[in-house]
Amino acid sequence: MSSRSHAAPRHKGIKALVAGGYLHRQKSEIDGRSVSLQLTDNGRDALAATRSKF
């Protein structure tokens, strides 16, 4: 699907958000295949700023 819409694959977008300080990624201690994503304070601020524009 990403090739048809020219959208970046999800993992690339997530990687960029983690690198930018908007998301925190943590692997599960129980199941190493599972990953939890959480917004950082910067991510929450960016989300609030974006929502206020719409």
Mean per-residue pLDDT for 4-9?
70
CB neighbours of residue 42 within 10 Å: 13
Distance CA 42, CA 26 (A): 17
| pLDDT for 43 | 97
Is the pLDDT assigned to residue 5 strictly greater than 80? no
Find residue 52's DSSP bridge partners.
none
CB 38 within 8 A of CB 47: no
Average pLDDT over residues 16-29: 95
Instruction: Tell me the H-state helices in the chain.
Output: 2-5, 10-19, 41-52
**CB-based contact 21:39 (threshold 8 Å):** no
pTM of full prediction above 0.85: no
